[in-house]
C-alpha cells in the first residue's frame, strides 16, 4: 500500500512538473537599470558540457561584492571543488590540490580548460546583463555579452525575482545553472 502511494505521488509530481510552462525571464525595467552588486547566497544544480563530455552536480555560492565562495558538489553532496575569491586573489581546491591566480577567469582556464566568467555570472544568475561590458538582447530574449550567449528561463505561471534557469554557451562549452534556493 505504501509503495502504491509513493508511486502515485511520484507520478503526480512528474506530471505537475511537466505541466509548467517555461518562458523567457525578463527582469523588471527598474531592476536592470539601477542594478548594484549586492550580496547573495544561492544554491542549486549545475551541468557543464564541453565538447560533448558533460558532468552534473550541485553548487553553493556565497557572494559579496569583494569576495566569493563557490563550492561544486557531486550529486551525492560531496564537495568536488571549492573556489574562493577575495581582494588578495583566487584559489581553487580540487583533487587534493590548490591552485592560485589573480583572477577567476585565468585560473579556471588554466586548471579546467575553460573559463568560468564569475564576474559576469554575478549578474547573469540574477537575469541581468553585466553593467561593465557591452551587451545585446536578441529578439528571442537571449543575451549576448563578452562572447557568451545567455538564455534566461522562468516559469510562466510563477512570478520570480530571478530566473529559474540560466543557460550559457560559448564556443564548445555549455553551462546550465538551476538556482533553487536564494537566501
- pLDDT tens digits along 87-125: 999 999 999 999 999 999 999 999 988 889 999 999 999
CB 117 within 8 A of CB 136: no
Identify the pLDDT of residue 27.
62
Identify the pLDDT of residue 14.
37
The reply to whether 42 falls in a domain is: yes
C-alpha grid cell, residue 49: 558540457
CA 153/CA 52 separation, integer angstroms: 23
Sequence-ordered alpha helix ranges (H) in the chain: 2-19, 29-33, 104-112, 118-124
C-alpha grid cell, residue 44: 542549486
CA 21/CA 37 separation, integer angstroms: 30
Q: How many domains does the chain have?
A: 1
CA 24/CA 141 separation, integer angstroms: 6
pLDDT tens column, 39-53: 999 999 999 999 989
The reply to whether 10 falls in a domain is: no
CA 18/CA 61 separation, integer angstroms: 28
The reply to whether 17 falls in a domain is: no
Identify the pLDDT of residue 156.
80
C-alpha grid cell, residue 183: 537566501
Taking all residues of the chain, what is their mean pLDDT, rounded to a whole number?
A: 85
For strand 22-24 and strand 40-50, is the pairing parallel, antiparallel, or unpaired?
unpaired
Domain containing residue 177: CATH number: 2.50.20.10
The reply to whether 106 falls in a domain is: yes
The reply to whether 121 falls in a domain is: yes
CB 37 within 8 A of CB 65: yes
Domain limits for position 124: 22-182
Identify the pLDDT of residue 59.
96
The reply to whether 142 falls in a domain is: yes
Mark residue 52 as left, alpha or beta (left: phi above 0; alpha: psi -120 to 50; beta: remaining). left
Identify the pLDDT of residue 143.
96
The reply to whether 125 falls in a domain is: yes
Identify the pLDDT of residue 92.
96
CB 148 within 8 A of CB 120: yes
Identify the pLDDT of residue 20.
58
The reply to whether 49 falls in a domain is: yes
Give the residue ranges of the chain where pLDDT is below 70: 1-20, 26-34
Amino acid at each position: 500500500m505504501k509503495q502504491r502511494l509513493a508511486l502515485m505521488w511520484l507520478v503526480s509530481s512528474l506530471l505537475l512538473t511537466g505541466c509548467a510552462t517555461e518562458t523567457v525571464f525578463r527582469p523588471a525595467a527598474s531592476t536592470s537599470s539601477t542594478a548594484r552588486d549586492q550580496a547573495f547566497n544561492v544554491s542549486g544544480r549545475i551541468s557543464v558540457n564541453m565538447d560533448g563530455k558533460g558532468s552534473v552536480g550541485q553548487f553553493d555560492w556565497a557572494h559579496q561584492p569583494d569576495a566569493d565562495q563557490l563550492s561544486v558538489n557531486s550529486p551525492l553532496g560531496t564537495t568536488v571543488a571549492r573556489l574562493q575569491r577575495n581582494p588578495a586573489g583566487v584559489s581553487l581546491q580540487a583533487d587534493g590540490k590548490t591552485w592560485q591566480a589573480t583572477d577567476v577567469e585565468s585560473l579556471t582556464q588554466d586548471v579546467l580548460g575553460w573559463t568560468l566568467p564569475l564576474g559576469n555570472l554575478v549578474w547573469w544568475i540574477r537575469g541581468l546583463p553585466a553593467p561593465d561590458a557591452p551587451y545585446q538582447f536578441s529578439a528571442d530574449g537571449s543575451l549576448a555579452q563578452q562572447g557568451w550567449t545567455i538564455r534566461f528561463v522562468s516559469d510562466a505561471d510563477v512570478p520570480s525575482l530571478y530566473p529559474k534557469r540560466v543557460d550559457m554557451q560559448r564556443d564548445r562549452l555549455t553551462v546550465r545553472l538551476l538556482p533553487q534556493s536564494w537566501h
